[in-house]
A and B are shown apart, each in its own frame.
Chain A
């Protein structure tokens, strides 16, 4: 830990960056994001298994951009999001300093986005078995039962949009759900509005989601919305090969192959 603090302090000291985005102590046993702008504040940086919030979400936020160039503490899920943001031209290498960190708290330097991609080839996104089992179980339900399952799950959604706020890839300044002229989908929170919102959210993340589970962790009602994006990751793999961001590949839905296979178009 002292190494992370030392490094962060040195970056601020040398004025290479103006802010260090990292994890600090939160309420009770929780951790929270800290934005260290002074060398002395770096003392508060911590890193352990409780640090699960995806900090990449702050790279595109107006309020944080105003602070100046950031260094960001980046465990694997954050690295994936950074790479995806790079693929989507939302950040450039000179915009930030990446303080890569392994689950064993070892620091890794990344000189370029390409270096992140190389590193991630040994840290591929893997959908845990407990999730594949749940997804399989849901898909095995008769169609009407499956629909009823989701309507019930989404019933407690009140559209606070914490899922959207916590997602590093939901960086649009104006979300489609907030448009009401025309109203694309129901803005109100009722069964139809909730269903449409979660379909829209998942579709807009299709082939982009890096499976960090920030949406699920943020949901105050504990709705398993990450199952939708996980199921779509499987679909990406089944239909278009591998998933996960790559600098020399465009997003799944921004690209195509003339010989893409399907079995349902007549």
Chain B
């Protein structure tokens, strides 16, 4: 559908929030914790912070939680009962305050879970998520959304995108039919078409590299000293993957308690040595250099080869959270 523009007054935002809560929605929004902002289950409008470039954790947790129950079983003398988690009722979630990069990340993430196998649980969750994004008026040295086909005012992935205008009110761009439905249900809050110039309000994010060129270069860079050089300080933790809004690798764990138990899908990271360790003891990715290469190649070569878009949205979370200050831009711009 074509994007439709509206104006929403600042006080109406709170009213919209309260209406959504009143309508039984679960709202995840940025909440301050020390110097950080974290997407958290928020019940009160005043708990939301506006002081963040991006949150420390990513919004993927609402569709791909860190621990997801796949099924549970209960054994008795007569039979074994299995309850498939795909049949559970998933919550209606509103993601409030996602950035355009966060929203854009839902596209490659949804692709991953809809390859040969269509993941029922993921899709059930995804269908129930409504994205209310806010454009970026600030950026920092870690941001590079404009280099990966996104930008501080990009609409892809969002249902509605708010952009704060100089007067303090918001331009509302309604992108999807779902968004349109919300506007019509709350028509008293949305005023007709705004002629405001959105571009002036947006942060300037310089283009740092050309994604197509990077993809071409990576074809022939499997054996290259850059991987060891740039990952030397890597501590082998999974923080880059866990804060990444696109990373979707998982591990299956069973938790058994007597005659009952659950099978769980848990986040995993290519940064861990155990990720590729074989039963024999052989590890095809023996060093952090090989693991760092996998991370870059996956996002900038394998994913774009398969689905045309990069497996990265340029939010910069991985670099911000890295305890050893390994910066993904550093690697990409040095290729």
Is there direct touching of A and B in the complex, by C-beta distance under 8 Å?
yes
What chain B residues lie within 8 Å of A61 (beta carbons)?
Answer: 236
How far is A179 from B321 in the complex, measured between Cα atoms in Å? Answer: 26
How far is A155 from B238 in the complex, measured between Cα atoms in Å? Answer: 17
Q: Mark B239-253, 1 if CB is under 8 A from A, else 0.
A: 101110000000101
Mark the stretch among A105-113, A122-130, A204-212, A216-224 that contacts chain B: A216-224
Q: Do A220 and B243 contact each other (CB < 8 Å), given the known contacts A187-B266, A189-B66?
A: yes
Instruction: Please indicate which of the listed interface residues B36, B57, B235 has the most CB atoms of chain A within 10 Å of its own CB.
Output: B235
Distance in angstroms from A75 CB to nearest chain B CB is: 17
What chain A residues lie within 8 Å of B235 (beta carbons)?
Answer: 57, 162, 165-166, 218
Within 8 A of A (CB), among B33-57: 33-36, 38, 56-57
What chain B residues lie within 8 Å of A26 (beta carbons)?
Answer: 325, 327
How far is A18 from B313 in the complex, measured between Cα atoms in Å? Answer: 39
Indicate if the CB atoms of B323 and A27 lie closer than 8 Å: no
What chain A residues lie within 8 Å of B141 (beta carbons)?
Answer: 27-28
What chain B residues lie within 8 Å of A231 (beta carbons)?
Answer: none
A63, A188, A218: the one contacting B228 at CB < 8 Å is A63
What chain B residues lie within 8 Å of A187 (beta carbons)?
Answer: 251, 253, 266
A33, A64, A188: the one contacting B253 at CB < 8 Å is A188
Interface residues of B, count at CB 8 A: 44
Indicate if the CB atoms of B67 and A188 lie closer than 8 Å: yes
Does B17 have its Cβ within 8 Å of any Cβ on chain A? no
Does A161 have its Cβ within 8 Å of any Cβ on chain B? yes
What chain A residues lie within 8 Å of B255 (beta carbons)?
Answer: 183, 186, 188
Q: Mark A160-178, 1 if CB is under 8 A from B, else 0.
A: 1110111000000000001
A33, A158, A164, A221: the one contacting B233 at CB < 8 Å is A33
Does B216 have its Cβ within 8 Å of any Cβ on chain A? no
How far is A183 from B256 in the complex, measured between Cα atoms in Å? Answer: 10
What chain B residues lie within 8 Å of A164 (beta carbons)?
Answer: 237
How far is A34 from B319 in the complex, measured between Cα atoms in Å? Answer: 16
Does B269 have its Cβ within 8 Å of any Cβ on chain A? yes
What chain B residues lie within 8 Å of A220 (beta carbons)?
Answer: 56-57, 239, 242-243, 321, 323
How far is A57 from B255 in the complex, measured between Cα atoms in Å? Answer: 33
What chain B residues lie within 8 Å of A53 (beta carbons)?
Answer: 323-324
Does B82 have its Cβ within 8 Å of any Cβ on chain A? no
How far is A158 from B255 in the complex, measured between Cα atoms in Å? Answer: 17
Q: Do A160 and B264 contact each other (CB < 8 Å), given the known contacts A57-B235, A178-B274?
A: no
Q: Mark A199-237, 1 if CB is under 8 A from B, else 0.
A: 000000000000000100110111000000000000000
Indicate if the CB atoms of B238 and A32 lie closer than 8 Å: no
How far is A156 from B324 in the complex, measured between Cα atoms in Å? Answer: 21
What chain B residues lie within 8 Å of A63 (beta carbons)?
Answer: 228, 232, 234, 287-289
Indicate if the CB atoms of A160 and B237 lie closer than 8 Å: yes
Q: Which positions in A face B, CB cutoff 8 Å?
A: 26-28, 30-35, 53, 57-58, 61-64, 156, 158-162, 164-166, 178, 180, 183, 186-190, 193, 214, 217-218, 220-222
Which 4 pairs from chain A and chain B are nearest by CB? A165-B235, A218-B323, A165-B237, A32-B325
Interface contacts beyond A27-B141, A27-B327: sample of 14 additional A-B pairs, CB < 8 Å, sorted by A: A26-B327, A27-B330, A32-B324, A33-B325, A57-B235, A63-B289, A156-B57, A160-B239, A161-B237, A164-B237, A165-B235, A165-B236, A186-B255, A220-B57
Q: Can you identify 17 A-B contacts, CB atoms within 8 angstroms?
A: A27-B325, A63-B228, A156-B38, A158-B57, A158-B267, A160-B237, A162-B235, A165-B237, A165-B323, A166-B235, A188-B67, A188-B253, A189-B266, A217-B323, A220-B242, A222-B33, A222-B34
